[in-house]
């Protein structure tokens, strides 16, 4: 299944999500044909049960989809939909089709079953038909499914990459569905899941930057030979390859270890690794490319701007490093080795 997903998503994104296409999407143009192609090929519901048109793919299988979305800077909420439907399945509401996104920054309060407040920085909130979030309830926490169309108003915004990050204002809105957050899931489950997704997207973008930068260094000549022949450039390319490899391995490990429950320890490590690699990769990519790397016509900025945005979304490197440090300190000297080597079937002991 993983190989089928990988070949399908690579073909679709290579054919449709060209640099020119991504630039157009940044001008607030909804990429309807890309989304339609993803739906028709079963990508948007890849993790959903077969009875609703899905493939029941595991997170390990979905990794290649998420990485490809980052590698091609796919301008759609594909990864958010995978996460939202996963949580809907976990709490018994069931997967939904259409355009679905998630929200982690919420001030929603519940009164007589109606929700009022804000959902902030919602990916593609203006385009979404459904949004999944977690709210405080009398019994604890509930997973709720809302329609952005029911919002009193939408304040449109974008991140540094030009991707929609909107604020949805609700006033006494009735959710389409709600259910208690299952036992064993943290109220910040969407934050952890989102961090896992962003780590894989960053890994994909790093791979694309490495390919683009290596090709440019082999073509660009100075003093009669390619700049890739110079030791200083070779050293920078080696560091770039090292960072891309580390981020890919850490992200894939987090996905593989999250099949039964989100492995928050591994997710935290992956987000830290990916975010730190993003900082180095953007610096190296622009350094090797020189002035051309900053031009709008060249596609490098489509990747580097996303790395700058994604490294901070769903928790920064500092946020997840702090949680990792707390987990290690709480485990103590005797518990350190078991903490990092315990079975991937166990939930990592880290408090979000």
Residue 203 lies in a domain: yes
Give me the mean pLDDT over the 71-96 stretch.
Answer: 98
Do residues 97 and 51 make contact, with C-beta atoms less than 8 angstroms apart? Answer: no
205 & 175 share domain: no
Q: How confident is the model at residue 351 (pLDDT cuts 50, 70, 90)?
A: low
Tokens of 56: 């029941």
Q: How confident is the model at residue 254 (pLDDT cuts 50, 70, 90)?
A: very high
Q: What is the pLDDT of residue 196?
A: 98
Long-range CB contacts for residues 236-243, cutoff 8 Å, separation at least 24: 236/284, 236/287, 236/288, 237/210, 237/213, 237/284, 237/288, 239/280, 239/284, 240/206, 240/209, 240/210, 240/213, 240/280, 240/281, 240/284, 240/285, 241/210, 243/206, 243/276, 243/277, 243/280, 243/281
Q: How confident is the model at residue 349 (pLDDT cuts 50, 70, 90)?
A: very low
Residue 82 lies in a domain: no
143 & 281 share domain: no
Give me the mean pLDDT over the 218-228 stretch.
Answer: 89
Residue 307 lies in a domain: yes
Do residues 87 and 184 make contact, with C-beta atoms less than 8 angstroms apart? Answer: no
For residue 128, the domain's CATH number is 2.40.110.10
Give me the mean pLDDT over the 117-143 stretch.
Answer: 96
The pLDDT of residue 136 is above 60: yes
Q: Is the dihedral of CA 68, 71, 72, 73 positive or negative?
A: positive
303 & 229 share domain: yes
Domains: count for the chain: 3
193 & 337 share domain: yes
Q: How confident is the model at residue 126 (pLDDT cuts 50, 70, 90)?
A: very high
Q: How confident is the model at residue 7 (pLDDT cuts 50, 70, 90)?
A: very high
Residue 170 lies in a domain: yes
Residue 115 pairs with which residues in a beta bridge? 110, 173
Q: How confident is the model at residue 350 (pLDDT cuts 50, 70, 90)?
A: low
The pLDDT of residue 342 is above 90: no
For residue 286, the domain's CATH number is 1.20.140.10
Burial (CB < 10 A; 0-12, 13-18, 19+), residue 134, is buried
143 & 218 share domain: no
207 & 173 share domain: no
- Whole-prediction pTM value? 0.95
203 & 147 share domain: no
148 & 162 share domain: yes
317 & 202 share domain: yes
Last residue of a domain, one of 20, 45, 76: 76
Give me the mean pLDDT over the 324-345 stretch.
Answer: 83
Give me the mean pLDDT over the 268-285 stretch.
Answer: 97
Q: How confident is the model at residue 348 (pLDDT cuts 50, 70, 90)?
A: very low
| Three-state SS annotation for the chain | CHHHHHHHHHHHHHHHCCHHHHHHHCCCCCCHHHHHHHHHCCCCCCCCCHHHCCCCCCHHHHHHHHHHHHHCCCCCCHHHHHHHHHHHHHCCCCCCCCCEEECCEECCEEECCEEEEEEEEEECCCCCCEEEEEEEECCEEEEEEECHHHCCEEECCECCCCCEEEEEEEEEECCCEEEECCCCCCCCHHHHHHHHHHHHHHHHHHHHHHHHHHHHHHHCEECCEEHHHCHHHHHHHHHHHHHHHHHHHHHHHHHHCCCCCCCHHHHHHHHHHHHHHHHHHHHHHHHHHHHHHHCCCCCHHHHHHHHHHHCCCCCCHHHHHHHHHHHHHHHHHHHHHHHHHCCCCCCCCCCC
335 & 193 share domain: yes
| Three-state SS annotation for 129-194 | CEEEEEEEECCEEEEEEECHHHCCEEECCECCCCCEEEEEEEEEECCCEEEECCCCCCCCHHHHHH
Do residues 118 and 107 make contact, with C-beta atoms less than 8 angstroms apart? Answer: yes
210 & 317 share domain: yes
Residue 66 lies in a domain: yes
Q: What is the pLDDT of residue 345?
A: 40
Task: Pick the range with the lowest mean pLDDT from 76-80, 277-281, 313-317, 343-347.
Answer: 343-347
Residue 346 lies in a domain: no
Last residue of a domain, one of 182, 197, 229: 182
The pLDDT of residue 347 is above 70: no
Q: Which range of residues forms the domain containing residue 59?
A: 1-76
The pLDDT of residue 112 is above 90: no
Last residue of a domain, one of 166, 182, 198: 182
Residue 150 lies in a domain: yes
Q: What is the pLDDT of residue 262?
A: 94
240 & 332 share domain: yes
Give me the mean pLDDT over the 103-118 stretch.
Answer: 94
Residue 351 lies in a domain: no
- The mean predicted confidence, pLDDT, of the chain is 94
The pLDDT of residue 229 is above 50: yes
């Amino acid at each position: 299944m993983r190989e089928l997903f990988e070949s399908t998503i690579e073909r679709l994104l290579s054919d449709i999500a060209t640099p020119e296409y991504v630039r157009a999407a940044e001008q607030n143009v909804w990429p309807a044909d890309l989304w339609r192609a993803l739906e028709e090929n079963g990508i948007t519901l890849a993790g959903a049960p077969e009875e609703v048109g899905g493939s029941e793919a595991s997170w390990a299988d979905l990794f290649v989809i998420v990485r490809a979305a980052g590698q091609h800077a796919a301008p759609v909420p594909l990864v958010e939909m995978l996460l939202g439907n996963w949580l809907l399945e976990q709490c018994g509401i069931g997967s939904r089709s259409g355009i679905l996104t998630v929200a982690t920054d919420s001030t929603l309060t519940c009164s007589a079953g109606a929700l009022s407040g804000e959902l902030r920085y919602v990916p593609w909130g203006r385009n979404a038909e459904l949004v999944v979030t977690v709210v405080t309830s009398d019994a604890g926490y509930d997973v709720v499914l809302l329609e952005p169309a029911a919002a009193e108003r939408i304040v449109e915004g974008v991140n540094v990459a030009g991707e929609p990050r909107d604020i949805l204002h609700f006033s006494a809105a009735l959710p389409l569905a709600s259910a208690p957050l299952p036992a064993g899931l943290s109220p910040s489950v969407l934050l952890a899941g989102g961090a896992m997704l962003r780590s894989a997207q960053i890994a994909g973008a790093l791979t694309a930057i490495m390919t683009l930068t290596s090709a440019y260094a082999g073509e660009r000549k100075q003093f009669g030979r390619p700049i890739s022949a110079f030791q200083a450039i070779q050293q920078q390319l080696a560091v770039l390859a090292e960072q891309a490899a580390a981020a890919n391995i850490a992200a894939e490990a987090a996905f593989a270890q999250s099949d039964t429950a989100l492995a928050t320890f591994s997710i935290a490590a992956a987000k830290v690794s990916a975010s730190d690699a993003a900082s180095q990769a953007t610096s190296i990519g622009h350094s090797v490319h020189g002035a051309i790397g900053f031009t709008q016509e060249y596609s490098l900025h489509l990747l580097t701007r996303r790395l700058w945005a994604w490294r901070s979304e769903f928790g920064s490197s500092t946020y997840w490093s702090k949680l990792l440090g707390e987990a290690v300190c709480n485990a103590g000297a005797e518990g350190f080795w078991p903490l990092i080597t315990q079975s991937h079937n166990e939930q990592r002991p880290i408090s979000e």
